[in-house]
């Protein structure tokens, strides 16, 4: 029962914070939504910040696991990046609350990650895979020789947010795999090296 209550609290936080900012949500709203007392809430979590961090961590870890599915490490760097982005589209389709929560609060957490490295050991996971595939693509000249930081942010943030936002506006597009493949191809054409370069 206790673990079910804790799960329900986290699920509620993910749903609420996917629609609202950190400041907009009160512990009273959380308790009302879950149907528990304030005492029960604080029995499970020491603070609102702890609840938020655990919810973020859970969504983040689920995203990391999903983003690594079916990636052939022997494929080109660009193919690995495309597969990773397609996995993120699948994650967004299957768990939209988590994706909304991550997209909305990633900048806030990124600031905290820089300040509190030890509190967030998954920081490395945010960049490791993308950097590995970008470096592979840069080495083979299939990706334009640009600063890695720029390329990493280019892949991690605007693309994921823009693509998933577009798909969420018309969810029937999720069923059109060839359209998703075309969109992903066009995205990565922007960072592919041209024959002239």
pLDDT tens, residue by residue, 100-158: 888 777 766 655 555 344 444 445 676 788 888 888 988 888 888 888 777 877 776 66
* Distance between CA atoms of residues 42 and 44, nearest Å: 5
Q: Taking the domains of the chain in order of start, what are their residue ranges?
A: 48-189
**What's the pLDDT band for 34 if we cut at 50, 70, 90?**
very high
pLDDT of residue 186: 83
Residue 196 pLDDT greater than 50, yes or no: no
Decide: 108 and 22 in contact? Cβ < 8 Å. yes
Residue 89 pLDDT greater than 50, yes or no: yes
In angstroms, the first-to-last Cα distance of the chain is 61
Decide: 14 and 98 in contact? Cβ < 8 Å. yes
Percent of the chain with pLDDT over 70: 82
User: Architecture of 48-189 per CATH?
Assistant: Orthogonal Bundle (1.10)
Close Cβ partners of 30 (under 8 Å, ≥ 6 residues apart): 9, 12, 13, 16, 41, 48, 51
Length of the chain: 197
pLDDT of residue 31: 94
Residue 54 pLDDT greater than 60, yes or no: yes
Cross-strand pairs, 192: 143
Strand, coil or helix: what is 192? strand
Strand, coil or helix: what is 169? helix
pLDDT of residue 119: 40
Close Cβ partners of 89 (under 8 Å, ≥ 6 residues apart): 163, 164, 167, 174, 180, 184
């Amino acid at each position: 029962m206790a673990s079910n209550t804790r799960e329900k609290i986290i699920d509620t936080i993910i749903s609420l914070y996917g629609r609202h900012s950190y400041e907009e949500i009160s512990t009273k709203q959380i308790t009302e939504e879950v149907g528990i007392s304030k005492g029960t809430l604080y029995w499970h979590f020491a603070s609102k910040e702890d609840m938020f961090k655990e919810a973020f961590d859970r969504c983040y870890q689920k995203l990391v696991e999903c983003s690594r599915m079916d990636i052939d490490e022997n494929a080109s760097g660009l193919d690995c990046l495309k597969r990773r982005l397609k996995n993120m589209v699948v994650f967004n389709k299957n768990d939209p609350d988590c994706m909304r929560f991550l997209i909305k609060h990633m900048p806030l957490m990124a600031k905290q990650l820089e300040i509190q490295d030890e509190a967030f050991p998954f920081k490395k996971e945010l960049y490791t895979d993308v950097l590995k595939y970008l470096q592979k693509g840069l080495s083979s000249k299939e990706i334009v020789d640009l600063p890695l930081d720029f390329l990493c942010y280019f892949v991690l943030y605007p693309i994921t947010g823009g693509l998933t936002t577009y798909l969420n506006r018309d969810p029937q597009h999720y069923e059109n795999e060839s359209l998703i493949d075309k969109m992903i191809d066009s995205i990565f054409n922007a960072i592919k090296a041209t024959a002239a370069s």
